[in-house]
Amino acid sequence: MLKKVRGTRKKATLGHIRQETVYLAIQALQKDESLSIQLLCEIAGIARSSYYKWLNRKPSACELENEQLTQVMLSIYEKVERTFGYRQLTLHMRKQTGKKINHKRVYRLMKLRGIQSVIRRKRAKYVRSTPQQVAENVLNRKFEATAPNEKWVTNVTEFKYGHGQKAYLSAILDLHDKSIVSYVLGHSNNNPLVFQTLKQALQAAPGSKPMLHSDRGFQYTSLDFKKLLDKNELFQSMSRVGRCIDNGPMESFWGTLKCEKYYLHKYETFQDLKKDVENYIHFYNNERLQAKLNGLSPMEFRNKAA
């Protein structure tokens, strides 16, 4: 019985959203195109009296609050170049307004305004190389860490700019707070790119000896990389062959970065690409809220733990 009542309530809510959308569309078309209300109502299949009743109604307290929340939502949505879905919008709206906003409410407001998040693209496939040395999958998908600099994950991803030119981003992510510890954007996918990323991470966290997990890319399986790890007393872990999920948090970050920034623009120069990558990583570390971090940004969560 309870399930039936919930289903009826859900249908009523969706019906209200569709009706509200129709009224808003008629209002916008009449204002922008100077079309007849009678004609628009006939096309929409609703009575003209129903539209005027909606137009002249006195907004309820809930409707007024929804309008205020909608403006906050749209402001955040535009700031992040229309990339956030209802989950991210909910987190940011809660923080900005100080109110306990339900994610279902934000979803309904998005439907009313006809907005949605961008769709992530499928990852490219790469040819595997013969490794010089490999390590076991010690991390074993245990993606939680009790303290900063306990477990790091790393990888390299590719970008394109100009006329078929390529750039490569190497980064290290801390599993404790999902922050990007270090990153290097270069023109070549080679050992120096990866080595420099690790050296920068060690400089940012002096004295740390975390586990470092990667895939089986040629840089990470090289003997020189193993020597660098041993020199700094870092323990190495590697994903199994063909198991991208073994390095899930790093892959997730690449998807987020590309979805919320890279895919939205066409870059003519390396410097343009570099500027946006740097700006996004700063935004991600310091402003982008995460539900798994209690609604905080990575650096807020990290500082709170400290």
> Residues 158, 263: one domain?
yes
Kindly report the pTM of this predicted structure: 0.73
Contact 207, 110 (CB under 8 A): no
Q: Token match 């073994």: residue?
A: 246
* Domain end point (choices 88, 113, 138): 113
> Residues 217, 96: one domain?
no
Give the CA diameter of the chain: 79
Cα angle for residues 122, 256, 240 (degrees, 5° grid): 60
Residues across the chain: 306
Q: Is residue 127 part of a domain?
A: no
Closest by Cα among 154, 145, 150 to 221 = 154
> Residues 15, 86: one domain?
yes
> Residues 162, 105: one domain?
no
Q: Is residue 118 part of a domain?
A: no
Contact 169, 183 (CB under 8 A): yes
Number of domains in the chain: 2
Averaged pLDDT, 76-98: 91
Q: Is residue 191 part of a domain?
A: yes
> Residues 175, 283: one domain?
yes
> Residues 57, 169: one domain?
no
> Residues 92, 163: one domain?
no
Q: Is residue 72 part of a domain?
A: yes
Alpha carbon distance 140, 188 (integer Å): 30
How far is the CA of 22 from the CAs of 16, 28, 86, 115, in angstroms?
10, 10, 22, 15
The contacts of residue 56 (CB under 8 Å, 6+ apart) are none
At 8, the pLDDT band (50, 70, 90 cuts) reads very low
Mean residue pLDDT of the chain comes to: 88
> Residues 171, 295: one domain?
yes
Q: Is residue 140 part of a domain?
A: no
* Domain end point (choices 89, 113, 137): 113
Pairing of strands 211-214, 151-161: parallel
> Residues 195, 56: one domain?
no
pLDDT in tens, 132-146: 688 899 999 999 999
- 293: domain range? 151-305
Q: Is residue 124 part of a domain?
A: no
> Residues 80, 165: one domain?
no
Q: Look at residue 111 in the predicted model and tell me its pLDDT.
A: 85
Averaged pLDDT, 187-211: 95
> Residues 38, 161: one domain?
no
> Residues 171, 90: one domain?
no
Q: Is residue 144 part of a domain?
A: no
pLDDT in tens, 16-29: 666 777 888 888 88
Contact 253, 170 (CB under 8 A): no
* Domain end point (choices 97, 113, 129): 113
pLDDT in tens, 151-166: 999 999 999 999 989 9
Q: Which residues, in sequence order, are bridge partners of residue 173?
A: 153, 180
Q: Look at residue 125 in the predicted model and tell me its pLDDT.
A: 57
Which CATH number does the domain housing residue 289 bear?
3.30.420.10
Pairing of strands 180-186, 165-174: antiparallel
Q: Is residue 256 part of a domain?
A: yes
Looking at per-residue pLDDT, the higher value among 28 and 286 belongs to 286
Looking at per-residue pLDDT, the higher value among 279 and 51 belongs to 279
Averaged pLDDT, 288-295: 94
